[in-house]
A and B are shown apart, each in its own frame.
Chain A
Amino acid sequence: MPPPSPAPPPAPAKNVFLLLPDAQGRVGAVTVTNAGGVRTLDTAGQATRVRDAQSAPTVPQVLGQAEIEGLFGAALITEPVPPMHFNLYFEADSTALTAASRDDIPRILDAIRERSSADTSVTGHTDTLGDPKRNFELGLRRAMAIGSLLAAAGVDPGLLDIGSHGETNLLVPTPDGAAEPRNRRVEVTVR
């Protein structure tokens, strides 16, 4: 009698969590957690498989391009292009744009047209000098000035999302109370 063949290995779990690099090739990290345990992925192409909510996520393995394409190709090819950012700067104590920033306005209009943007944000930012509430309001006044300018240039105001992050979203990280002209901006993001 021939010896019984060994049982075939179980099929790999069908639920897959995969870490990918961004367009600049940078990699972050993700954790996958369930009742069975926690797994961290921190290398591009690493994947963990999870059989069910009680089974710990598997030891990460790097997937080949063909397998990534097979699993996720349809989603990845449908990812929209990343939004386009413009930082606009102002003359001191003014809602008038610098000459360099005025040159960005036609580029913004082109981007809105080319992408058929239905959603463009105009967000005011300040540096950390001064009171946070005043900075929120200053950012909002400047964002509204740019919103008016874009609307006057023909952009449908309905697709503009005007707001302010005050001093809470710095372009150049600084401590509180620091004057930093590069943070005093209106950021127009065309999606």
Chain B
Amino acid sequence: MSLVSNSAARLLPFLALVVLGVSPLWAADEVIGSVKKVVGTAAVLRDGQSIPARAGLRLLAMDTLSTGSDGSLGVVLHDDAILALGPSSQVALERFAYAPAEQRLGFVARIARGTISYLSGIIGRLAPETVRFETPVGTLGIRGTHFAIKIAE
């Protein structure tokens, strides 16, 4: 009697976590945000595949965002940062760490080309030195902010 209920009691919190959609902290394919707006041609490049972007599409660490010459894309990240791409743009989300309780914070994006705008969120507020945008011509660092970058091909 007690054996069964003890096991059930130990299992229950874990099951509750699974049902409520909490990813284990060690999950490799951690969801880091979602697509909110799509105009024209836009895609998420993931593991060699091109996924057409649509509102509600979840983003994973290491995704690359890409837009066609007629496209633009708006995404929200888990730390409430906002990232938008104009046409003919490509940005790789190289690192996204948002676990303040473990002192794990950071966001690194690499812009290959095009135009982006970024409004920093909680990672930018708690640890601005961990936010970086790498481009072929220079690296941008922040102090909690809203900015835009254009990289000509």
Q: Point out residues on A near B: beta carbons under 8 Å.
A: 14-22, 27-34, 41, 50-53, 57, 68, 71-83, 116, 118-119, 121, 132, 136, 144, 147-148, 151, 157-166, 168-169, 189, 191
Q: Which residues of B contact A32 (CB under 8 A)?
A: 138-140
In the complex with contacts A53-B137, A144-B16, A164-B101, A76-B36 CB distance below 8 A: no
B150 touches A14 (CB 8 A): yes
Listed by A's residue number, 9 A-B pairs whose Cβ atoms lie within 8 Å are A17-B140, A29-B145, A33-B139, A53-B136, A118-B55, A118-B56, A159-B21, A168-B126, A169-B100
> Which of B19, B36, B136, B144 has the largest number of chain A CB atoms within 10 A?
B36
Binary contact readout B114-153 vs A (1 if CB under 8 angstroms, 0 otherwise): 0111011010101010000001111111111111111110
A77, B148: Cα distance in complex, Å: 12
Is B33 an interface position by the 8 A CB rule?
Answer: yes
A72, B148: Cα distance in complex, Å: 7
B73 touches A18 (CB 8 A): no
B138 touches A28 (CB 8 A): no
Of the 9-residue stretches B3-11, B43-51, B75-83, which lies at the interface with chain A? B75-83
A77 touches B72 (CB 8 A): yes
B58 touches A118 (CB 8 A): yes
In the complex with contacts A168-B101, A189-B80, A75-B141 CB distance below 8 A: no
Chain A interface, DSSP helix/strand/loop, else mixed: mixed
A80 touches B117 (CB 8 A): no
Q: Which residues of B contact A57 (CB under 8 A)?
A: 138
Chain A residue with minimal CB distance to B143? A29
Q: Which residues of A contact B122 (CB under 8 A)?
A: 169
A22 touches B119 (CB 8 A): yes
In the complex with contacts A79-B82, A161-B22, A34-B137 CB distance below 8 A: yes
B86 touches A15 (CB 8 A): no
B69 vs chain A, min Cβ distance (A): 11
Please provide the 6 A-B residue pairs with the shortest distance between their CB atoms, ordered closest to farther: A28-B145, A14-B152, A34-B138, A80-B36, A75-B86, A74-B86
